[in-house]
């Protein structure tokens, strides 16, 4: 086990804007989880994951509860999750996850962001082959023996385990599993009474594109445009 490779977030919002966007993103994830599996977290693993992620960004409990109530309402929008692909400047591949109630609006906006950011939106499959969809769990290292943990989790789909730091500089253990093993790993951690700091499905690049600081700034401007769109949930890149 060692330091685990992570492609860092390329853009930085002001603290308030970043927090507001995170709350909106998790609110949509809660709506999708409740619609699919009901409002009871004990029988809805996706909703339990949402709760963990809400806690990791300090989302107030009343906002979480309000999101659940809205999701149960008859007038609640139904969100579809759509993945868009494209290239930023300098050959950097981007995957854009969206949750939308209006496909026409979302695709038009995403295409506009790519164009104005000097990138190019691609067809389905044009970029995704350069990434691998994985479950990513971040754990508090306190009280955990990483060598023992690695052995214990292999049977539940563990592919990578290593150390990293959060954007705030806190040390974490990162556990990665294949997409299909996400539920197995979530259950395994729960059985071991390990509550993740966060549990996400992420697109991990299989190769990265080296860029200069100036080129990284060009790419970051496009990513920031995309991330500020109300329909965009997450943006993944392979910038090294």
- The DSSP result for 51-78, as a single string, is HHHHHHTT--HHHHHHHHHHHHSTTPPP
Question: Looking at per-residue confidence, does 89 or 9 come out higher?
Answer: 89
Give residue 87's pLDDT band: very low, low, confident or very high (50, 70, 90): very high
- For the chain, domains (ranges, CATH) are 15-72 (1.10.10.200), 80-129+207-237 (3.30.70.980), 130-205 (3.30.70.980)
Min mean pLDDT across 80-84, 151-155, 163-167 is at 163-167
List phi, psi (to 5°) of 135.
-85, 135
pLDDT at residue 238 tops 90: yes
CA distance 131 to 207: 8
Identify the pLDDT of residue 2: 58
pLDDT, tens only, 122-139:
999 999 999 999 999 999
Give residue 4's pLDDT band: very low, low, confident or very high (50, 70, 90): low
Task: State the burial class of residue 145 (Cβ atoms within 10 Å of its Cβ: 0-12, 13-18, 19+).
Answer: exposed
CA distance 202 to 132: 8
CA distance 56 to 69: 21
pLDDT, tens only, 96-111:
999 999 999 999 999 9
Identify the pLDDT of residue 3: 61
Identify the pLDDT of residue 59: 93
Token reading at 58: 């300090």
pLDDT, tens only, 168-199:
788 999 999 999 999 999 999 999 999 999 99
CA distance 231 to 212: 30
Give residue 25's pLDDT band: very low, low, confident or very high (50, 70, 90): very high
Give residue 13's pLDDT band: very low, low, confident or very high (50, 70, 90): very low
Percent of the chain with pLDDT over 90: 79
Token reading at 29: 């994830």
Give residue 14's pLDDT band: very low, low, confident or very high (50, 70, 90): very low
Identify the pLDDT of residue 166: 79
Token reading at 112: 């506009």
Token reading at 225: 């445009």
Percent of the chain with pLDDT over 70: 92
CA distances from 87 to 44, 91, 202, 223, 236 (A): 36, 6, 18, 11, 11
């Amino acid at each position: 086990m060692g330091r685990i490779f992570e492609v860092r977030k390329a853009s930085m919002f002001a603290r308030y804007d970043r927090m507001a966007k995170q709350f909106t993103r998790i609110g949509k994830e809660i709506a999708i989880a409740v619609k699919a599996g009901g409002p009871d977290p004990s029988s809805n693993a996706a909703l339990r994951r949402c709760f963990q992620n809400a806690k990791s960004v300090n989302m107030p409990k009343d906002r979480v509860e309000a999101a659940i109530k809205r999701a149960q309402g008859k007038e609640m929008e139904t969100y579809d999750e759509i993945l868009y692909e494209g290239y930023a400047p300098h050959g950097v591949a981007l995957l854009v996850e969206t949750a939308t109630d209006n496909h026409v609006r979302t695709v038009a906006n995403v295409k506009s962001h790519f164009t104005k950011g000097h990138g190019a939106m691609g067809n389905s499959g044009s970029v995704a082959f350069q990434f691998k969809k994985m479950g990513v769990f971040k754990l508090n290292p306190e009280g955990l023996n990483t060598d023992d943990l690695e052995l214990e989790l292999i049977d539940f789909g563990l592919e990578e385990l290593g150390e990293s730091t959060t954007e705030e500089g806190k040390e974490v253990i990162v556990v990665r599993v294949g997409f299909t093993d996400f539920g197995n790993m979530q259950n395994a951690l729960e059985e071991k009474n390990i509550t993740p700091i966060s549990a996400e499905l992420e697109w991990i690049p299989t190769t990265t594109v080296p860029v200069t600081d100036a080129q990284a700034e060009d790419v970051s401007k496009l990513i920031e445009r995309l991330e500020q769109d109300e329909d965009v949930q997450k943006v993944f890149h392979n910038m090294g």
